[in-house]
Amino acid sequence: MTFPRKSFLRNDTGVAAIEMAFIMPFMLLLYFGLVDITVLISLNRKITAAASTTADLVTQQRNSVLKSYIADTFNATALIMVPTAASEVRVEVFGYRTVSGTITNIWSTNNGLGPSCGNAPSTSTMSTLMTAGNDVIVARTCMNFTPAVATFLGTNIVGATTFLLNQSISIRPRTTLQLNCYQTTVAAGTLCS
C-alpha cells in the first residue's frame, strides 16, 4: 500500500500531541517555579514576623527575663509559622552589652530545635544602636526551605536542593537599659546559655 505524498504533507493528526510534548515541560517548570516563589515569599514574611515578635516580647520585660518566659515566646513563633511545623523553625535570642569598650554576648538561648542559624550575630553594626550601659537584644529566626523545583528537577536548575531562610531583628530593651536572662530565678544568678 502506498501513500500519496500530498496527503501525507497535509495530514495534521497528532500535531497537538507533538506541540504538547514541546510545551508541557516548560509549563510544569513555570507552574512549580511560581508555586515555589509564592511559598518562599510567604515563609520569608513569616520568618521576619516571628523574629520581630520574639524580639518585641523579650525587650518589654523589666530588668530581667526568665528562660521560661522566652520559651513561651517561642510558642508565639510557632503560631506565626503555621502551617509550617514548629520543629522546622529555629529561634535564637542573644543579649549584647558593652563591656570595657567591647560589645560582648552576655547571654543567649534558643528553642533547641535543629542546627544553629549560623554564627553569632555580627557586632560590627551594633555600636550605632548601643549607648553607654545600654544592651541590644537580637532575635534570630531561621528555617530550611526546599523548593519543589529542586526536588523535581534536581540541583541543576536552582543550584541547591535546600536554602536557609534567616532573619535577625535587633532591639534595645524598652523599660530598662540592661536586660539579663536567667535560667530559673533572678536570685540564682545563672545567666541563660
Which pLDDT value is given to residue 53?
Answer: 94
Running DSSP on this structure, what letter comes out for residue 111?
Answer: -
Which pLDDT value is given to residue 4?
Answer: 66
pTM: 0.81
Which pLDDT value is given to residue 171?
Answer: 92
C-alpha cell at 186: 533572678
For residue 174, give the nearest of 66, 72, 63 by alpha carbon.
Answer: 63
Give CA–CA dist 79/32, Å, rounded: 27
Which pLDDT value is given to residue 165?
Answer: 92
Which pLDDT value is given to residue 154?
Answer: 64
For residue 33, give Cα distances in angstroms to 43, 83, 152. Answer: 15, 20, 11
Give CA–CA dist 8/111, Å, rounded: 70
C-alpha cell at 119: 554564627
Give CA–CA dist 58/42, Å, rounded: 24
Q: What is the pLDDT along the chain (193 residues), one digit of tens a residue?
A: 565 666 666 767 777 888 888 998 888 888 888 888 899 999 999 999 999 999 999 999 888 888 888 888 998 888 999 998 888 999 999 999 888 888 888 899 898 887 788 888 888 888 888 877 789 999 999 998 888 777 666 666 666 678 889 999 999 998 888 888 888 776 666 788 7
113-122 burial by CB neighbour count: b if 16+ within 10 A, else e? eeeebeeebe
Which pLDDT value is given to residue 166?
Answer: 93
Reported for 34-43, long-range contacts at CB under 8 A and 24+ positions apart, including other chains, are 35/148, 36/147, 36/148, 36/149, 39/145, 39/147, 40/145, 40/147, 40/165, 43/84, 43/143, 43/145, 43/165
